Amino acid sequence: MIPYEIHKILFKIGDRFAIFTWGVMFAIAWIFAGYFIYMNAKSNKDVDINKAMQFLLATFVGVLFGSRLFHYFGPWGYGSFYERIKLMFSPKGGWVAYGGIIFGLVFSYAYSKMKKINFLRYCDILAPAIPLGLFMGRFGCFLAGCCFGAETNVLWAIERFGTTIHPSQLYAAFAELIVFVIMLELARRHKAERRYDGYLVFSAILLYSIARFMTEFFRGDYGINVYHFGFTFSQLISIILVIFFGTMMLLNQGKSRGAVPKIDKDMKLSYLLVSGGGMLSIISLLFVNMDIEIMIAPFAFGLLILFRGLMAYTSSHN
C-alpha cells in the first residue's frame, strides 16, 4: 500500500488566486501537443501550416466545450438545467474526455468546411497528439484526486481516505502512453506508405477506445446511474467507436502506395526517450504523498525526457 495525498492546488497567491494542478497539466498537454503538431505540419507538404494551427485552435475550442458539456449534461451531471449551465461555465472542475474528442472533431470539421480544406488530412496531422494530451491530462486527474479507482489489495494500491484503491488514473496514463508510441510508429509508416486520408485519426480513436474500455474496469468513482447493461457510459461509447472506426479502417485497408523504411537509430532513440520519460513521470507520481516540491523534480525530469524524445522524433521524421 502506498500513501496518497491529493494536491488540487499547486500554489496560492494571496487568499483569492490559486493555480490548480489539473489546469497546469492541461496547459502542459496542449503545449506538448501543439509543438508536435506544428513540427508535423511543418514537414508535411500537403497541408498549409497556418491553416493547420487554426484547425488546432478550432479543435481546442471544441475540446473545451465538449468535455464540459458531457460532464454536466451526461450521466455525471446533477442539478436543474439552469444549474448545469451555470456549472458548465464556472471555474468548478468537471471534464469528460469523450466529449472533448467528439466536439473537437465537430468544431474542426466546421472549420474545414469554412476554409474548404481536406478534413481527414488535417485530422491526421493532429491525430498522434490525441493520446499525448490524454496521457498528460491523467496526471492532472491523479493529482486532483478525481477519476479514482476501485477498492483493491494489490501491492501498488494507494490509500485514499482510509481505503486502498487502484491508481486508475495512472493505469490510464500508462495505456495512453502505449497508444502514443504506437501512433508515432503509425505516423512514420503513414508518411512512407502514403495511406488514405483519415488513417491516423481512425487509428488514434480506435486505439484510445480500446484502452479506455479496458481501464474503465478499474474505476471506482462512478455512481450506479453511469452503468448500463453492466458497462459504464464511457465503455458503451468505446464499443460504438471501435465498431465505427474499425469498420472504416477495414473498408479502406490495402490503400497504400509506398514501402516502409526500417527504423533507424535516431527513431529508435526517440521511442526510447518518449517511453522512458513517460514511465518516469508515471512512477514518480506514485510517491505524491511526499512533499510536492520533492516529488516534482523526478516528475518534471520525466516530462523533459519525453519532450526531448518528441524533438528527436520530429527531427528524424522530417
Q: Are 56 and 39 in contact (CB under 8 A)?
A: no
Cell triple for 16: 483569492
Assess whether pLDDT exceeds 70 at residue 44: yes
Q: State the Cα–Cα distance between residues 131 and 144, nearest whole angstrom.
A: 20
What SS3 class is residue 280?
helix
> Distances from the Cα of 162 to the Cαs of 155, 159, 165, in angstroms?
16, 6, 10
What local confidence, expressed as pLDDT, does residue 287 receive? Answer: 78
What local confidence, expressed as pLDDT, does residue 302 receive? Answer: 95
Mean pLDDT of 11-20: 78
Encode pLDDT of 135-159 as tens digits. 999 999 998 888 889 999 999 999 8
Cell triple for 2: 502506498
Task: Please report where in the chains the cell 466546421 appears, as a residue.
Answer: 110
Percent with pLDDT over 70 in the chain: 89
List all residues 6 or more positions away from 14 whose beta carbon is below 8 Å from its beta carbon. Answer: none
Mean pLDDT of 10-14: 77
Confidence tier at 88 by pLDDT (50, 70, 90): low
In degrees and rounded to multiples of 5, residue 42 shows phi and psi of -60, -35
Confidence tier at 78 by pLDDT (50, 70, 90): low
Enter the pTM of the model. Answer: 0.90
The sign of the dihedral angle between the CA atoms of 78, 103, 37, 187 is positive
Single-letter code of the amino acid located at 204: A
> Distances from the Cα of 149 to the Cαs of 59, 77, 185, 212, 219, in angstroms?
30, 19, 31, 14, 4
Percent with pLDDT over 90 in the chain: 56
